[in-house]
Chain A
Amino acid sequence: MSEAALSIDRLAVVLHRNGAPVSVLADVRLALAPGEVLALVGESGSGKSTLGLALQGLLPAEAAPRIAGSVRVGGMEVVGARPPELRMLRRKVVRVVPQDPMAGLNPTMKIGRQLAESGGSGPTIRDWLARTGLHDAERILNALPHELSGGQRQRVLIAMAMLARPQLLIADEPTTALDTTTQAHILALLRRLAEQCRTAILFITHDLAVAGSLADRIAVLHGGRIVETASARALLAAPQHIYTQRLLTALRDVNTCPAAPGERGAGTALRLSSVTKSYRLGRQPVLKSVNLLIRKGECVALVGESGAGKSTVLRIAAGLVAPDSGDVARADLRPQMVFQDPASAFTPWLRIGEQIGDRLGRQRDRHARVGQALEWVGLDPAMANALPGELSLGQCQRAALARAVVAPPALLLCDEPVSAMDMPLAVAILDLLSELRHRLGMAVLFVTHDLAVARKVGDNIAVLKDGELVEEAAADDLLDNPQTDYTRALIAAAPARVSIR
């Protein structure tokens, strides 16, 4: 048996933020054998990305990092190594598959050239493209990054990383930007590569379900310390540490709590009749004759892969985009919307309170109503004076909900509002959403690519594929008894999350 691919011993990292030292990692111990897949699970802020950077000797110099302990990758000590050694390490020994595949590629350079720069001759490049599931090598090599799909880009990056035959592959949330089906393919590919090439994989994720479906072992990082390491099966079946138990409870919560049915009135909140839309003349239409009915107080979850047209349905429902043909009927002139990335959904130079209050015009009780809306979403009314940049992700999404309901709409539109969040936060936001929905009697159209989330929030689930609704049914019926092959495939592709009960 050769040496361990990675061994971390008592690693501690202190970074400086605004001059003050912050202990980011403490007493981290971890070992990976060649060919092993270890998932490092933690919430945002737990230090998992810092650990990934420390393994490559890439801690940001402006944070004046202080490192203690030892990190050995493929027999080479990283802590205290000189820059040329670190460059060699990053070229040959440790390779990374980044979270955002577009950021990992040079947008102005053809894929073929980027692969060649990463080392490797023509035949080996083609070989690796084939092994990562990209079979029309000619087209891929001559393409620019934007001409490929997200899944294809991620495969290219995996091929690029594997060209160097590294001993350790760090995958930093490589599938968060991908839809469920593509995610399942990429995970299977990584699994296969670890077995065939004896490459150890450190898989960084916030998603316990993804970790469980991929890894041999799971290490849970919390507050800069590894609180629990165990085989994936053992950890999911019998978590020892209280934090792991909390993560698992949140996961189960999403799976087993179906939405309490809202008070459905007789009226219609939104009706789309034979709506079509194509963005450019002569192009394949984005929506082909979509019919959708949402009654007052009802929540419909719209699921589908990326590119299915989910966002277009939402924008047509909001009135931001006009359909080419078909009718849109809304109960209320002003539906409100909650966006995927709450940080970019607030105008950066205006205070939170101003942006919420502008919805009310010049009403006299404006200040009080803004405070009340903030209280509804569990924020301190004093938060009204904050700028959007000062809020955390969760606070920001709560503020976005407050803005949406300060003048309660009959219809609330949600565009993947929790897809960027880790599980406990996502559950908290979804609970808040359903509480607001019942309190204010709103109908909700909730777009998501995540079936488990759809089941949690939706009374009904509608499945969209290539611009057509292929199936719509009550949430539990649809997941337990899918009628179309496409829905069955979606359910099968979802990570363990849906099946964990």
Chain B
Amino acid sequence: MSAPVKLLYFAWLRARIGQVEEEVPLPPQVRDVAGLLEWLRGRGPRYAEALRDLSVIRVAVNQDYVGAEHPVRAGDEIAIFPPVTGG
């Protein structure tokens, strides 16, 4: 069975993907952030383009910054965005 996660996109990632947020069922082979990004890139040209250069992508799981090996689980809130530019 696939389990849903909530995905949030910000700044130019939101603009390129064309969505603010979405609920997606996680395929069973997706276990961590790296796997999630890889899978998302295969969902269409907008995703592939937006997520092409991972050096300008940051990920937060449940509102904490995480690395590529961080696990993703059903019910997680996963935000994907460029490096921050506040202040």
State yes or no: do A and B come from one complex: no
Chain A interface (Cβ < 8 Å from any Cβ of B): none
